[in-house]
């Protein structure tokens, strides 16, 4: 099915190390959202990016939207065990339906 590519698929880091996941689309996006899914849980909304080159921060998380609005990244500084989970980007498909196509996800494991 239709999906947005994310890399890497898996990432294991030591606690305290940084982590970055990248989301790439072949088309120009109107907006992009990021979600986090804890193991055994459901996806939870983190952020939405709309403007070209936009950068948003949430504590240790930094989200960036590419200048061409075709890619995005999520960077976590000094990971903690609470960061464990799968991070998904979601590409907005509008208008009218507002459905989002989710990326393949990056599963993060943090080793204490």
Using CB under 8 A as the criterion, which residues of the chain lie in contact with other proteins when the complex forms? 1-3, 33, 35, 41-45, 47-48, 88, 90, 96-105, 107
Q: Considering beta carbons, is residue 14 or 96 the nearer one to other proteins?
A: 96
Answer for the pair 73, 64: CB distance below 8 angstroms, yes or no.
yes
Is the Cβ of residue 17 or residue 102 nearer to other proteins in the bound state? Answer: 102
Given 3-state DSSP classes, what are the helix, strand and coil percentages for the chain, each rounded to the nearest 5? 5, 55, 40
Taking the complex as a whole, the smallest distance from the CB of residue 84 to other proteins amounts, in Å, to: 15
- As a whole number of angstroms, the distance between CA 83 and CA 3 comes to 24
Report d(CA 19, CA 16) in Å as an integer: 9
Helix (H, G, I), strand (E, B) or coil at 83: helix
Give min distance, CB of 22 to other proteins, in A: 15
What would the two tokens of residue 77 be? 């500084």
d(CA 110, CA 103): 21
Query: Is 17 or 31 the residue whose CB approaches other proteins more closely?
Result: 31
Q: Least Å distance between CB 81 and other proteins? A: 21
Compare residues 19 and 35 and give the one whose CB is closer to other proteins: 35
Tell me the closest approach of the beta carbon of residue 16 to other proteins, in angstroms: 27
């Amino acid at each position: 099915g239709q999906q947005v590519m994310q890399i890497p698929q898996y990432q294991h880091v030591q606690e305290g190390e940084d982590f970055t996941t990248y989301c790439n689309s072949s088309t120009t996006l109107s907006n992009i959202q990021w979600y986090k899914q804890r193991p055994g849980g459901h996806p939870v909304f983190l952020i939405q990016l709309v403007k070209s080159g936009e950068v948003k921060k949430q504590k240790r998380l930094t989200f960036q939207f590419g200048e061409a609005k075709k890619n995005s990244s999520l960077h976590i500084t000094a990971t903690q065990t609470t960061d464990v989970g799968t991070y998904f980007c979601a590409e907005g498909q509008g208008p009218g339906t507002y459905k989002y196509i989710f990326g393949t996800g990056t599963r993060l494991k943090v080793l204490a």
